[in-house]
Amino acid sequence: MKVYQTKEIRNIAIVGGAKSGKTTLAESMLFEGGVINRRGTIEDKNTVSDYRDIELERLNSIYSTVLYAEIDGKKINMIDCPGFDDFVGEVIAALKVTDTALMVINAQNGVEVGAEISWRHASKAKKPVIFAINHLEHENSNFEETLRQMKQSFGGGVMICQYPVNEGLGFNAVIDLLQMKMLKFDASGKTEVLDIPASEKDKADEMYAAMVEELAANDEALMEKFFENGSLSEEEISRGLKLGLINRGVFPVFCINGKQNWGVRRLMQFICNTVPSPDEAPRETFTDGKEVTYNPADSACAFVFKTTFEPHLGEMSFFKVFAGEITEAIDLVNANNSSKERLSQLFVVAGKNRQKIEKVVAGDIAATIKLKNVRTNHTLNSPKNPDPQITPIVFPEPKITVAVKAKNSAEDEKLMGILNDLAKADPTLVVEQSKELRQLILGGQGELHLNIQKWLIENVNKIAIDYLPPRIPYRETITKSAKSMYRHKKQSGGAGQFGEVHMMIEPYYEGMTPQTEFPIRATETYDLEWGGKLVFNNCIVGGAIDARFMPAILKGIMEKMEQGPLTGSYARDIVVNIYDGKMHPVDSNEISFKLAGRNAFKEAFKNAGPKILEPIYEVEVILPEEKFGDVMTDLQGRRAIIMGMDSEGNYKKIIARVPLAEMNRYSTALSSITSGRAMYSMKFVEYAQVPPDVQTALLKAYEEQEAED
């Protein structure tokens, strides 16, 4: 393959709702781009993009696939993205390294939630967007309505560049306003370029005028020309489109049929001629705020956006070159961990097909294998300029967690290794061996996301596993003050043990006034690892307990804080005042005071109005308006407190505070209520007391569990 220069490269993320036709369009683009000489289909399980076992099994893209096509002296790098929200991490990573999003919209369904989601991410990444409308040959396809929804969801910049002539059954022609020609397609995938027929002339003229005016409105210089001449030249239109794309004022719309390969070459030509090359598009930045250069003469800088494990090859890293050139056998430094790397082999990749290449220049996308110490989000630099880091991709936090267990516990360790590899390839998976919950926790973006991992672990790695609900990280605290005393005494043969502690405990809160019943001689405040505080006051007068025993008393209390008296959960937000006690001249020692401290604390805790606290999350749900009532009812059944509501286009937003214990399987419930048209995110906000009935149930469950153990 020839070495493409920055200006000859286009990087496109193919995004949109699940099943809209992205992978099928990519297949036709590969065919037109000379990568394959026969087009596969989803149904025949032979597309280049959906080649992994799990994708063939499900007839769906699960991972993004890096592809390329060569056409008209240009190279189009494409990343075909999955459409389900569960795999949104792949979309976010793809948008990071591509310069334009190509969104596929199914004219039967209009704007689907997957399109809304991709739009949001493209907007966040400030990427130009072009639209390809397909499925126009169906009886119930509706171009006008689809367009109306697009304008409503994506704004007035949505601009028709092509419209269908004979939409519905028998569809085979579009008017191309940029060429002012009719494109007629036939079953073999051939395209005839014809003059616009008389019957379409008026409509085409009118739409053309509207398009030109919109373009002019997007740029002052063009507006002047437009007023001068009453129209724009072809060259001015092209310039206007490019400008409009770059400043996200114009979002051109094309018509395609990926399955029949209709309109695909034309779309690719538009991409070659008008879509910005990497150096023309909005620029990515380094962590210090500087923009990337794309200068091939600068020292090399590449950013890894995707890591996969390929059969027979091992770990594969996909990267975009942000400056300089990357050649085979180049030495690089990892800016994130200073490790030295040598690139052994360099590939351009189209799905499972790879082609070796000697060199790629700034703006291009390529892959390499067997790097030593590189993960997604790392920047690799020439040793001449080793430090700059590209701002990392921000992956979403997990929305759903499960506890994972190997059916055969002998395989637990192996399972941990596999999970870590999965998380390396998919940064939206989070694996944690939780000491607190005593479970191996896997977090992901939704039930489908986690089920896919289960399938992989069971079918590829051959380990049978169970998913269990994760335990809830409850906390314990007190609501009023209480006193206690405990004497630890053991005098049966040998050295004895003696320690007596009197304490008063009180609830801690920010800005509280210290108690005045006992003089506080020394105070220590501990920020607890699990949140909240412990304040430890030494109020001993007259040497009732030696200062040297204080740390032992504190240790005893800490032990009980770590395994709270009510349910064994962490305790928090407590002030302990040690105000009296007794020592024995011979038998007192640290262990005695530790035990006395622990037991006194346990006693006092019981009488101090103890309460169980549960984690509360702020949940943001975006849902179609007509499902508002159902979603609210479901939330109320989850002890939710509604904090706010809002409208976004056809969508409503609900913000609620919900106990984590009630969020189990929420993604599934929400998906079934809204037919998959809603999305949600959640983040921890605070700990709050559980209602009395919940507390009673938790205490009972703990007692039963203790009895069992």
Ligand X SMILES: Nc1nc2c(ncn2[C@@H]2O[C@H](COP(=O)(O)OP(=O)(O)O)[C@@H](O)[C@H]2O)c(=O)[nH]1
Judged by the rule CB under 5 A, the positions of this chain that interact with Mg ion are 22-23, 61
Query: Which of 36/578 has CB closer to Mg ion?
Result: 36
Residues 6+ apart with CB under 8 A from 251: 128, 129, 130, 131, 154, 155, 157, 158, 159, 245
Find the shortest distance in angstroms from Cβ 367 to ligand X: 21
Partner that binds at residue 42, options Mg ion, ligand X, none, CB closer than 5 to 8 Å by kind: ligand X
Nearer to Mg ion, 22 or 52 (CB): 22
* CB nearer to ligand X: pick between 259 and 399: 259
Query: Which parts of 386-518 are beta strand (E)?
Result: 400-406, 430-434, 439-444, 465-468, 475-477, 482-490, 497-507
Provide the minimum distance between the beta carbon of 275 and ligand X in the complex, in angstroms, as a whole number: 20
Closest contact distance (angstroms) between CB of 79 and ligand X is 12
| Shortest distance (Å) from residue 20 CB to Mg ion | 8
Helix/strand number for the chain, H first, E second = 16, 36
Closest approach of Cβ 437 to ligand X, in Å?
36
Q: Which is nearer to Mg ion, 24 or 592 (CB)?
A: 24
User: Nearest to ligand X by Cβ — which residue?
Assistant: 21
Q: Which is nearer to ligand X, 81 or 440 (CB)?
A: 81
- N residues, the chain: 709
* Least distance in angstroms from the C-beta of 19 to Mg ion: 8
Q: Please report the DSSP string for 139-187 in residue order.
A: TT--HHHHHHHHHHHH-TTEEESEEESS-STT--EEEETTTTEEEEE-T
User: What is the per-residue DSSP string for 251-298?
Assistant: EEEEE-BTTTTBSHHHHHHHHHHTSPPTTTSPPPBBTTSPBP---TTS
Residue number, 26 or 321, with CB nearest to ligand X: 26
Please answer whether residues 649 and 639 qualify as being in contact, where contact means their C-beta atoms are separated by less than 8 angstroms: no
Determine how many CB atoms are found less than 10 A away from the CB of residue 255.
28
- State the Cα–Cα distance between residues 294 and 389, nearest whole angstrom: 14
Distance CA 384, CA 362 (A): 17
Edge-first strand order for the sheet with 533-538 is: 482-490, 497-507, 574-582, 533-538, 522-527
Min dist CB 21 to ligand X, Å, is: 3
* Residue 250 main-chain phi, psi, to 5 deg: -130, 130
Q: Which does 135 bind (CB under 5 to 8 A by kind): Mg ion, ligand X, none?
A: ligand X
Burial of 140 (0-12, 13-18, 19+ CB in 10 A): exposed
Closer of 32 and 55 to Mg ion (Cβ): 55
24 binds, among ligand X, Mg ion, none (CB under 5 to 8 A by kind): ligand X
Q: Listing from the earlier edge strand, what are the strands of the sheet with 439-444?
A: 430-434, 439-444, 400-406, 465-468
Q: Which amino acid type is present at position 191?
A: T
Shortest Å, Cβ 270 to ligand X: 18
| Chain contacts with ligand X (rule: CB under 6 A) | 18-24, 41-43, 61, 83, 104, 134-135, 257-259
Q: How far is CA 9 from CA 122, 132, 469, in A?
A: 20, 20, 48
- Rounded to a whole number of angstroms, the distance between the first and last alpha carbons of the chain is 67
The residue (of 22 and 652) whose beta carbon lies closer to Mg ion is 22
Specify the residue, 381 or 445, whose C-beta has the smaller distance to ligand X. Answer: 445
491 binds, among Mg ion, ligand X, none (CB under 5 to 8 A by kind): none
Task: Tell me how far, at minimum, the Cβ of 682 lies from ligand X, in Å.
Answer: 27
Structure token pair of residue 566: 């009510």
Closer by beta carbon to ligand X, 77 or else 538: 77
Q: Which partner, Mg ion, ligand X, none, binds residue 259 by CB below 5 to 8 Å per kind?
A: ligand X
Please state the closest distance from residue 281 (CB atom) to ligand X, in A. Answer: 24
